[in-house]
Structure 1
Amino acid sequence: MAAKITKQTQFDAIIIGAGACGLMCAVQAGYLGKRTLVIEHNDKPGAKILISGGGRCNYTNMYASAAQFISQNEHFAKSAFAQWTVEDTISFFETYGIEGAEKTLGQLFPANGKAKDVVQIFTDLCEQLDQELWCNTRVTDVSKNDDESFTLTYERHGKTASITTDKVVIATGGLPISKMGANDFGLRTARKFGMKIVETFPALVPLTITGKQQSWYEQLSGSSIFCRVWNDQISFEENILFTHWGLSGPAILQISSYWKQGESIYIDLLPNQSILDLIATEQRNNGKQLLQTLLSGLFTRKFAEALGEYLPISKNLATLSKADLESVNALIHEFKVTPAGSKGYDKAEVMRGGVSTDELSSKTLEAKKVPGLFMGGECVDVTGWLGGYNFQWAWASGFVIAQNL
C-alpha cells in the first residue's frame, strides 16, 4: 500500500525557478497576502538577470508591446501587457530605488546601479513578505493527485523528498544557457501533462559562416558596421559585428529569431545613403579617385580592402562600367548571407518556441488542461526582441500569475 501523502499547507503556491518571472510572481503574491515557496536549482537567485546587459540588466523597453514578440498566437501577450505595463515596471523599480536610463531604442538600464541591484530588490522583498526561497534545490517531478493537489519531488541537501501544494508555477526559463543550469524541465512537465510544444530554436543568437567564405569573415573579425538587415519577414537597423566564425551584433541577433536553417538574410551596408548617388557625385568632382578610396571614407580601410574580393576597388570612379556599378550597388545594398547555422543555445539569449499558448489562458496563464498549474516567462511560446522586451514579458507574466494563485 502506497504511503499516504500528508498535505503541507504552509504555502499557497510553489514557484519553480527564481528568475525574473518567478521572483516577480513571489513578490506580487506576497503583496496579496499569499505565501509562496520559490525553488531554484542554482546556488543563488536571478542567475540570468545577473549576466544580462553585461551585468547592467536591460530590465525593460519603453516601447514594449505584443508587436515585438514572436508567437504562434501574436495576440496572446496582449492581456498580460495590459495587466502589467511598461509604466508599471518603471514605477516598480523606481519605488525601490532604481531609476531608468535609456541607452538606445527604448532600452532601460538602471541609471546608477547594476543587475545585482535588481536581484537584491527581489530577495529583500521576498524576505520582507515572508516568501521562502530554497536554492541548490532541484525539482525532479511534478504530479497531480486525486484531490487535484500537486506533489513535487525534489532533491535538497543530498536527499530526495516531496511536498504537496494546490498551485504550481513553472518559471524555469528556456534552454539557453546550460552552464547556468538551463534545462528542459518546463517543456518536459508540459509534455507530461499532454500539453503541446511549439518547436524550439535558439533565438537572439550569433550566426555562423563555414566553408570557403569563412576566411573572408575571419579577416574582418572585430569590425562593426551600422546596417539594415532583413529577410522576407522583417528588417532591423542596428550594428552588425563580424567575427572569426561569422556574424553577431544587435541586428544579427534580432534577425536570428526570424531565421531558419538554410535561409538567406540580406544586409544593406549603407542603409541611409545611395552608393550610386555618392559615386555619381564623386565622378563629377574627382573621377580619378579610386573606388577603394571612396569606400574607405564610408567604411574602414580594412573593410574597403576586404570588399576588393568582390568589387573592382582599384578602378577609378570614372572608369566604372555599368556592370561594375550594378555589382557595387548589389553588394553594398543587398549583401546576401546564407548562414551555416547559429552558435546554439549556449550563446543564445533566449529560446524561440516553447509551451503552446493554446494550452494556457491568456488572462491568467493557467493551464487549461491542468487546473492549478501556471506557466510564465521563457518556457512559453512568447519570444521578444533584443533590448529588454523579454524581461517585460517575464515581469508581466509573473504579475499575472500571482493575481490568480
Structure 2
Amino acid sequence: MSYDAIVIGGGACGLMCAVQAGYLGKRVAVLERNDKLGAKILISGGGRCNYTNLYATPANFISENEYFCVAALNQWTVGDTIRFFEDEGIVGQEKTLGQLFPTSNKAKDVVAVFERLLKTLGQEVFLQAEVKSVEKNPVTNTFQVVFDHQGQLETFDTAKVVMASGGLPIAKLGASDFSLRVAKRFGLQVTDTAPALVPLTITGKDAEWFAALAGNAVFSRVWNKQISFEENILFTHWGLSGPAILQISSYWKPGEVIWIDLLPKQRIAQLVQQERDRGGKRLLSQLLQDHFTKKFTDALGKFLSIDKKIASIGKQEVKLMEQVIHRFEVKPAGSKGYDKAEVMRGGVSTDELSSKKLEAKKCTGLFFGGECVDVTGWLGGYNFQWAWASGYVIAQHL
C-alpha cells in the first residue's frame, strides 16, 4: 500500500494529524500499539476528557525554549479546537479555570469523533501494531517502518514519518520511550525527562502526620521560587496530591522545597485580632474550625497551641501561626512516578525541530508531535491543546 506518511501513535496528536492530513487529500496509516485508539484520551479527566482550556497561552507551557510552542498554538488555536469538535457534535462546557469538557462528560465521544472521521476520510488504522524500528534509506531517501501487527512482522516504506507515540506515563496503556529512542537514533538531542503533573511523596518523621490527614482537601496557594498556583491540595497516605500539587510538581526538582499558604484569601493575624476585638474568649481551635475541618484543625495542634484562648495568645505565637498557616514548608521526598503522572516533562529538544513544521532539522520527513516533544502544559486541558495543535501543524507539511 502507498501512504503519504506513517503516523506512529493513535493518541491525541496522531489522530488529529491523520484527520487533518485526510482533509488535505493525503493518505496516511496510523499504527497504534493498543487494541483501541485514544487510550489516554479515554481515561483523561476521570473519563470525561478535558479536551482544551479556554485560556491557553504559550505561558502555560514548560520548555527549555519557552517560545517554541508559539508558532503551533497560533496555527491551531483554542477557537479552532472548539469549532472542530462542535462541527462533529461535541459542545464544550466550562468547569474550573477554563477547563472545557464535553457536555456529555464522556471521553469516548471525543475518540468517536476521530474514529468516524478516519473512516470517512479513508485513513488506514492498524491496531495492536507495535513499531519495532524506523530506519531511513539514504539511496531512496525513504523511511522503512517495521512493526509487529498482531504477531506478524510487516514493513511500510514511506517518505514521511510522524512520531506521536507519547511519553513515559502510564505504562499499562502502552506508554514507552520509543519516540525518544527514534530521535536519538537519528542524532537528535533529548532533554532530561521526568514525571510531571504528578503527586508528591513525603517520607521521614513527617510522613505519619501527612498520612493521618489522608482525604482532607484544602484550598491553598502552593509556590516555589518560580511560580505559584491557587487550587485545592489533597492530603494522602503517602504525601500530597490535588490540582495545586500536580501543577507545582512540573516545576519541582528533587531536593527542593515548596511552600503552602493554607488560607490564601485571609490573614490569620487579622482573624486573631478580630477575635481579640470581640473579647478573645474563643479558643484558637474554634477560630481555625471556621476555615478548616476539625480533623485538620486538630492536626495543626502539632505546631500551634490550639486549645489556648485567643485573648492569651502573644505576638510570637501569632508569628508562628503566620508561618504555619501562610508559609507551610514541605520538602517532598519524591514523586509517585510515571504510573501516576499525567504527562512527561522534557523530551525531544526543541532545538532539533522546526517550530513552524515540527520537522526534524537533521532529517527531512521525520516529524515529532505531542507529548514526546519538550513542551509540557499545565493541568486542565493544556496538553490536549498542544497535541491537537502539533498534530494539525504536522499534517500541513506531509
Does the pair score TM above 0.5?
yes
Counterpart amino acid of residue 375 in structure 1: F
Correspondence 1:398 to 2:397: no
Correspondence 1:319 to 2:319: no
1:238 positional shift: 0.3
Correspondence 1:49 to 2:41: yes
Q: What is the rounded CA distance, in whole Å, between the counterparts of 1:212 and 1:265 in structure 2?
A: 17
1:66 positional shift: 0.7
Q: What do you get for the CA RMSD once the two structures are aligned?
A: 0.7
Q: What is the rounded CA distance, in whole Å, between the counterparts of 2:152 and 2:89 in structure 1?
A: 40
Q: What does the per-residue CA deviation read over 1:163-201, in whole Å, with 9 as the maximum and x for residues that have no partner?
A: 110000000000001011100000000000110011000
Q: What is the rounded CA distance, in whole Å, between the counterparts of 1:114 and 1:30 in structure 2?
A: 25
1:113 positional shift: 4.3
Corresponding residue for 1:377?
370
Alignment partner of 1:73 out of 65, 71, 75? 65
TM-score by length of 1: 0.97
Q: Spell out the pairing of 1:242-261 with structure 2 (5 A cutoff).
A: 242-261=235-254
**Mapped contact 2:49–2:105 kept (Cα < 8 A):** no
Corresponding residue for 1:3?
none
Alignment partner of 2:102 out of 94, 98, 110? 110
Q: What is the rounded CA distance, in whole Å, between the counterparts of 1:159 and 1:30 in structure 2?
A: 27
Q: What is the rounded CA distance, in whole Å, between the counterparts of 1:33 and 1:157 in structure 2?
A: 29
**Mapped contact 1:98–1:113 kept (Cα < 8 A):** no
Q: Which runs of 5+ in 1 are unaligned?
A: 1-7
Q: What is the rounded CA distance, in whole Å, between the counterparts of 1:291 and 1:157 in structure 2?
A: 65
Correspondence 1:332 to 2:286: no
Q: Spell out the pairing of 1:265-304 with structure 2 (5 A cutoff).
A: 265-304=258-297
Corresponding residue for 1:5?
none
Counterpart amino acid of residue 388 in structure 2: W
**Mapped contact 1:197–1:356 kept (Cα < 8 A):** yes
> Which contiguous aligned blocks of 4+ residues in structure 1 show a shift greater than 3 angstroms?
none
Counterpart amino acid of residue 173 in structure 1: G
1:162 positional shift: 1.5
Q: Spell out the pairing of 1:3-402 with structure 2 (5 A cutoff).
A: 10-146=2-138, 147-402=140-395
Corresponding residue for 1:4?
none
Q: What is the rounded CA distance, in whole Å, between the counterparts of 1:304 and 1:398 in structure 2?
A: 49
Q: What is the rounded CA distance, in whole Å, between the counterparts of 1:329 and 1:129 in structure 2?
A: 61
Q: What is the rounded CA distance, in whole Å, between the counterparts of 2:257 and 2:220 in structure 1?
A: 16
Q: What is the rounded CA distance, in whole Å, between the counterparts of 1:113 and 1:297 in structure 2?
A: 34
Q: What is the rounded CA distance, in whole Å, between the counterparts of 1:191 and 1:258 in structure 2?
A: 25
Counterpart amino acid of residue 67 in structure 2: H
SS where residue 309 of structure 1 aligns? coil
SS where residue 241 of structure 1 aligns? strand
Q: What does the per-residue CA deviation read over 1:210-246, in whole Å, with 9 as the maximum and x for residues that have no partner?
A: 1111110111100001000000000000000000100
Q: What does the per-residue CA deviation read over 1:274-299, in whole Å, with 9 as the maximum and x for residues that have no partner?
A: 10000000011131211111111111
Counterpart amino acid of residue 402 in structure 1: A
Q: Which runs of 5+ in 2 are unaligned?
A: none
Q: What is the rounded CA distance, in whole Å, between the counterparts of 1:157 and 1:271 in structure 2?
A: 54
1:393 positional shift: 0.2
SS where residue 283 of structure 1 aligns? helix
Q: What is the rounded CA distance, in whole Å, between the counterparts of 1:374 and 1:112 in structure 2?
A: 34
Instruction: Give identity over the alignment, percent.
Output: 64
Counterpart amino acid of residue 64 in structure 2: Q
Q: What is the rounded CA distance, in whole Å, between the counterparts of 2:63 and 2:279 in structure 1?
A: 52
Which region of structure 1 is more displaced relative to structure 2, 77-86 or 284-293? 284-293
SS where residue 155 of structure 2 aligns? strand
SS where residue 255 of structure 2 aligns? coil
Q: What is the rounded CA distance, in whole Å, between the counterparts of 1:32 and 1:338 in structure 2?
A: 51
SS where residue 143 of structure 1 aligns? strand
Equivalent residue pairs, number = 397
Q: What is the rounded CA distance, in whole Å, between the counterparts of 1:379 and 1:47 in structure 2?
A: 16
Q: What does the per-residue CA deviation read over 1:306-352, in whole Å, with 9 as the maximum and x for residues that have no partner?
A: 00001111111111122111100110000000000000000000000
Q: What is the rounded CA distance, in whole Å, between the counterparts of 2:156 and 2:72 in structure 1?
A: 30
Q: What is the rounded CA distance, in whole Å, between the counterparts of 1:61 and 1:113 in structure 2?
A: 15
